[in-house]
Amino acid sequence: MLTADLLTELRAALEADRDQLRQQIAGLPGESDFDENHADSGQVAAELGEGRVLAGALGDQLAEVEHALEKMDAGTYGLCEADGEPIDAGRLEAMPATRFCIDHA
């Protein structure tokens, strides 16, 4: 069961995650961070590709965190998106941005 105290703790955790993810995304190197005349253009291309993959993964995580915060604001946080049943508090503590109960994960 989600108590008011637990909900407050989970919101704080999600907000901290959101801030950290935003910082990580902002800190990723972009194309302008590489010298066009770099001798090893293959290495530059590989690093840019890795950066794009990482940015995509971090962006996906950020979207999940922001979705959970929106659900908190809407009063629907903690309900499984598959069946509408409450998600176990322990699962929410372990994965605050989860959308599904363990049965639908």
pLDDT at residue 45 in the model: 74
* Domains of the chain, start order: 4-104 (1.20.120.910)
pTM across the whole model: 0.84
Q: Any idea which of 9-18, 23-32, 78-87, 94-103 has the lowest mean pLDDT?
A: 23-32
Contact indicator for 42, 64 with CB cutoff of 8 Å = no
What DSSP line would sit under 16-76, residue for residue? HHHHHHHHHHHTS--GGGS-TT-S-HHHHHHHHHHHHHHHHHHHHHHHHHHHHHHHHHHT-
* Torsion angles phi and psi, residue 84, rounded to 5: 75, 5
pLDDT at residue 46 in the model: 78
Mean pLDDT of 7-22: 98
Does the structure show a pLDDT above 80 at 102? yes
Length of the chain: 105
